[in-house]
Structures are given as structure tokens and as C-alpha cells.
Structure 1
Amino acid sequence: METLAPGLGCKIGSLPISYPGLPLGAPYKSTRVWDVVEERFKKRLSLWKRQYLSKGDRLTLVKSTLSSLPTYFIFLFLIPKRVCVRLEKIQRDFLWGGGTLENRPHLVSWKVICAAKKYGGLGIRSLAIFNKALLKKWLWRFANENESLWKQIISRKGIRPPFPALIIWSPWVPTRVSFFGWEAAWSRLLTIDRLKRNGWSIPNRYYLCKNGEETTYRLLLFCEKARMLWLLIFSFFGVQWVMHSSVRRNLLGWHGSFVGKKREKAWRAAPSA
């Protein structure tokens, strides 16, 4: 190793190391991971404490700079509660006193300050809530980035992608209809394009609309006649909907909370109708 490293232009080290700005090899729950963020906070504050800043100026700085410093970290890791308290204390001390070295009373609770202005707050971002929102974005990416390498690796480790079972196997829908929906969600309907892939030598033309080839998504979602039925359903429930090209993804978003409790059963059964 010592012989190869100089020739390859590499350095010999051991974990944990910092690259790029993140400690690799250290457990994310360790406070050592977050020491870098706290150091950035204090370094930035040391420059501002030399200047006279009004409370309005300090509010602007907290919102524009301090609140955005740890974004890269909290996009990747669940921030430990004790670290969140520590970082928000730095923000509170700076807002009310001008820096971490001054101990002045905090006149309004931090929970109120983090509320939106229309609710009496100052609109400062709560690190804990922002952290949860960023981490949940990974769930959205997991559902949509089918070709990404990271999703394929995680899927092979036993984490199954979500499936719209509650919509397909609705108790208000006949089983034979649910079975058809289950086949459609797996893209296993015997449409002409699928028969051709299985070796059938037949021309692929969509005879219902006489436009394009017969596929699952055209048959159920984007055929001219199918679209008219979907628009009729959406107009009946007063819903605006953007159709996805995948049957499964359309059904995954098909929850009924926004149509009211009285119409929720009908809304959940509508795709199978």
C-alpha cells in the first residue's frame, strides 16, 4: 500500500475521514458528524458579532444563512435531537443577543418563532421539521426513480416498492375486477404488445381508437375513449388530476381524503369501475 499510494497520487488514511465535508465511516448518530456544522455556525457568527446589527438584520441573517448551513447534512441524515437543540440554541442566542457569547433573555419561544408569519411567528425554518421533510423526499424518489442504481441496491436488500393493494382489493369491488386491476398494476394484461413479446406474430394496432399500438397504458389510461371516462370521473368528484403513464403509480396516489368521507368509498372504487 505504501508503495502504490505515491504512484497513484493517493494518501493512506483510515476511517472516519472527511470527504467532501462529511465524515465518512462515522455513525450518523454520533455528535462528531455534526461538529462540522456547529463549527460553521460559530465561524460565521464570529464575523457578525463584530458589527452592530439590529434585530431585523439578525433575523434576516438567521433565515438566509444560518438556516441553510446544514441543509446538505440534514438531507442525508436524521439529525439527533440533542444536536438539533444545540444548533437551534445558537440561532436563538444570535437572534436575541447577537452571538453565542452573550446570554440575553429569549422573549418569545422558539416554537412560536418557527411558525409562519400569518400565525404570529417569524417564519424561521425549524431544523427538525425541515429534516423530516427532506428525508421523506427519498421516499418519493424511491417510488419514481426505477432505473437508479441506489434504488436497485436497496430493493434487492428486501425493501419492496409500494403497491396499491388497498385500492385494487377494495371490499366494494368484485374480486374478478380486482384481479384485473392487479394484473394491470403489474403490466401483465394480454395486450397485443405483450403477445408480440411472447412470440405471437400479429400486427399491433389499437382497434378501439384506431390510433397507435395496443398497450396497457393506452388501453386503460390514454386512449381517447378511456380519457373521456377518466374526465367524467374527475368532473363528478370535482378533482383535477394529472395521469401518470404507469397504472401502478396512478393507483398509489389514489387516496380519498380530499373528496370527503361521504364520497371516499366511491372514489376508492372508481378506478376499478
Structure 2
Amino acid sequence: MTQVQTSKGSKWSNMCLRDKTDIYFNGVRSEIVKDIIQISGFRIGKLPFKYLGVPISSKKITKYEGQKLIERIVIRIRALGARHLSYAGRLILVQSVLATMHSYWASFFLLHAGILKKVDSICRNFLWGGRDSYLRAPNVNWDKCCTPKEEGGGCLGLKNASQWNRALLGKYTDWLATKKDHLCVKWVNHVYKKGCDWKDYSAPTDCIWFWKKIIHIKDKFKQGYVNELWLNQTIPYSVAAGYQWLRTKNAKVSWRFLYWNSLNVPRHSFIYWASQHCKLLTLDRMIKMGRGTATICYICGVEPETHEHLFYKCEYSKICMKLLQDYLHLSFLAEDMVKWFSTGRGRSGLQRVFTGACFVGVIYAIWNARNRARIYHRLAAPWILVK
């Protein structure tokens, strides 16, 4: 009885396997195709088809096919309902949800430039407006947001979609360089390379588009290999290292230790980062953008509102900074906090981190007080902000 049940189960599993399996042929005579179909019972599939949600095709992935990726990202944004989140909250969602959806496709194909540009624009619009569509000009340029923290970039290390796509595909170059024991590498060596040195190899004109793109990426990354090692190191290639190698390097900023701080509240870090780039919507910037006519500071009502005035020159901010100085027993003015951090002198590590977190928190509180004064015409007492 047990043998009969096992036999029936085996037949049933084989039937399910045949119903869910397609077979594809290329350059095979029709007689052989008929024999294989008759023996296996599989169906003849047609390209393109989907595998694990990714379109598989012998031709180039078009902008129209990549639009499905854009639609999924847009649907996810609308499902998140994050319009009322802070900038820091939306930043985390962009990094953890939206960017990973693009990375899945980008690890297989060199996507269309229009699709990559659209992914960047959707992430940018969501970060600054909470929607997928364009509402207003972003406070900070997207390229600046994608630079590392030490160079004054975004607080969570956002990635440029185009460069990240190339860095993901750089792993195939590493397979060729290090001769990984993969079936696909063996097949490539047998069909395409045929013993040729991988650095000097160029793709034939009649090969598939995917292989041409891989060779195009290889020509970019081969400069990073010395003695068949990535950057002449024993450490193997990683996508993060490839992305850093591709991008343009910038000078490190002196205030990076203040907003890149383990004790900082994320929203405090984000506001401080934007203030250091002078990209908060103060009245002087709003006039340049054609979005207002008021110029006088909402807090003091005396001088024009700029970043320098609001956070350091306004009487309200001076009181806040003086209270912070007294509270932390600082021997220097709070305006010199960046210089103090950059020199590396003074207190111990934990004290410095705590001091920086308090300073960034006061900057956020001043900005919050300014917004309340603008909207509600109320101003919090300065000593409340530093307690």
C-alpha cells in the first residue's frame, strides 16, 4: 500500500512539474525539438518571460519593460502613506525600501538610462515631498545627497542609481578576473573567451546584448585590477567598494563629526546637515525661489532671515547657545563647535559625542521654534530648548 501511494505521489509531482515547466530552444533542428518535447512532456516557451519577477529576454530590456519596476515603486510609495513623516523618516524608507527594489533588477541587467533617472527622481521626490510626483524643487541636489557622510552627503548614504547599477554588475567582472568556479564562467570561457586574456577580450558583434553590456562594464572595471586582484588587495571585490571606486571623490568636510554622531536623533542630524549646506527654506532662499516676499526674521523681527542670522546672530539663538555653553561648561562659544571638533582637542571621546549631540539638538530646536513662530505666532522660551 505504501509503494502504491508513493508511486501515485511521484506521478502527481511529475505532472505538476511538467505543467509549470517550459523549455526553450535556439539553433536546434525541428526533429530534435520534437523528440525532446515528446520524451520530457515539457511545453515550448516563448521569450520574453518572467523568472522571480524579472523579465528574461534575449533582447535588450526596453524602457517600456522597465516601466514595470517604476510602477512597483510608485505602488509601494502610495502604500507607505508617509507624507506626514519627518525628513529623517522618509530618508530611512528611501534607503531601506525603495532603493532595494531597484537593486534587485539592477543586479541582473544594465537598465535603461531613462529608468535609472526615473528611479532617482522618484526617490528624490519622496524624500523631499512624500510623494512620487514632482511637487517643488528639492532642498539639496540629489548628487549631493548621494555622496558619503564624510564628504557632506546624505545621513544614510543614499546611492546614485546609475552608478549603483554598474557596481552591482561589476561582480561579473570579478568572476572573470578571479576565474570563479561557476558554471556560467565555465560556459563563457568555452563559448566566448576561448582562452583569451579577459582584459583584452572584446565582445563579438553577433553576441547577445547582455554579454555586450557585461563586457562594457568589464572595460570600466579592469583598471581597478592589479595582478588579477581588486585594487591589488587580498580582499575580494564588493559592490560597496566598486561603487566608491566609480564615483567622483570630494573633499571631506570639517563638520562631519557633528551630524555623523551615534547619540544624535536622526531628525536632528538631517536638519543640521541641511543647515550646513544652507538649504533650509529660510526667507532669503524662499525669495530667490519666488515663493514669498517677507525678509525679516520671524523670531526677532529686526534683521533679514538667513542661515547665519537664524542660528548664530539672532538674539533668540544667542540666548540658546549661551545656555548650552553654560549647561555643558564649554570654554568656547557654541559658534566655534565645528572648529573644536575638527581640531580633535579637548574632552574625551564620549564627552565630545555628547556635546555634539546637544549642539545639533539645539540647532534643530531653533529651527523648530522659527517654524512655530511663523505658523502659530508663538515662541518657546529659550531655556526650554536646552533642558
TM range (shorter): 0.5 to 0.7
User: Which residue of structure 1 aligns with residue 118 of structure 2?
Assistant: 86
Cα distance in 2, alignment partners of residues 256 and 94 from structure 1: 40
User: Which residue of structure 1 aligns with residue 167 of structure 2?
Assistant: 133
1:203-259: CA deviation from partner (whole Å, max 9, x where unpaired): xxxxxxxxxxxxxxxxxxxxxxxxxxxxxxxxxxxxxxxxxxxxxx994349889xx
Give SS of 1:18's match: strand
Structure 2 residue 190 is matched with structure 1 residue 156: yes
User: Which residue of structure 1 aligns with residue 19 of structure 2?
Assistant: 9
Q: CA RMSD in A?
A: 3.1
1:8 partner amino acid: R
Structure 1 residues 8 and 157, CA, compared in 2 at 3 Å: closer, same or farther? closer
Structure 1 residues 14 and 114, CA, compared in 2 at 3 Å: closer, same or farther? same
Correspondence list, 1:86-105, <5 A: 86-101=118-133, 103-105=135-137
Cα distance in 1, alignment partners of residues 127 and 226 from structure 2: 46
Structure 1 residues 43 and 256, CA, compared in 2 at 3 Å: closer, same or farther? closer
Structure 1 residues 126 and 115, CA, compared in 2 at 3 Å: closer, same or farther? same
Is the CA contact 1:27–1:33 (under 8 Å) kept in the aligned structure 2?
A: no
Structure 1 unmatched runs, 5+: 165-248, 258-273
1:25-71: CA deviation from partner (whole Å, max 9, x where unpaired): 26344113322321221111011236521111111111111111122
1:67 partner amino acid: A
Q: 1:110 aligns with which of 142, 154, 157?
A: 142
User: Which residue of structure 1 aligns with residue 152 of structure 2?
Assistant: 120
Structure 2 residue 76 is matched with structure 1 residue 48: no
1:73-95: CA deviation from partner (whole Å, max 9, x where unpaired): 11111122111111111111101
Structure 1 residues 26 and 50, CA, compared in 2 at 3 Å: closer, same or farther? farther
1:112-154: CA deviation from partner (whole Å, max 9, x where unpaired): 1111122111021111111111111111112334432211211
Cα distance in 1, alignment partners of residues 86 and 19 from structure 2: 50
2:132 partner amino acid: T
User: Which residue of structure 1 aligns with residue 70 of structure 2?
Assistant: 38
Cα distance in 1, alignment partners of residues 17 and 123 from structure 2: 47
Correspondence list, 1:255-270, <5 A: none
2:144 partner amino acid: V
Cα distance in 2, alignment partners of residues 14 and 149 from structure 1: 24
User: Which residue of structure 2 aligns with residue 252 of structure 1?
Assistant: 228
Sequence identity percentage = 25
User: Which residue of structure 1 aligns with residue 55 of structure 2?
Assistant: 23
Give SS of 1:99's match: coil
Cα distance in 1, alignment partners of residues 230 and 92 from structure 2: 41
Cα distance in 2, alignment partners of residues 130 and 163 from structure 1: 22
Q: Deviating runs (4+, > 6 A) in structure 1? A: 254-257
1:130 partner amino acid: W
Structure 1 residues 145 and 42, CA, compared in 2 at 3 Å: closer, same or farther? same
1:78 partner amino acid: L
Normalising by structure 2, we get a TM-score of 0.39
Cα distance in 2, alignment partners of residues 127 and 48 from structure 1: 21
Structure 1 residues 104 and 26, CA, compared in 2 at 3 Å: closer, same or farther? farther
Structure 2 unmatched runs, 5+: 1-14, 22-42, 201-224, 234-387
Is the CA contact 1:26–1:33 (under 8 Å) kept in the aligned structure 2?
A: no
Give SS of 1:23's match: strand
Give SS of 1:42's match: helix
1:118 partner amino acid: E
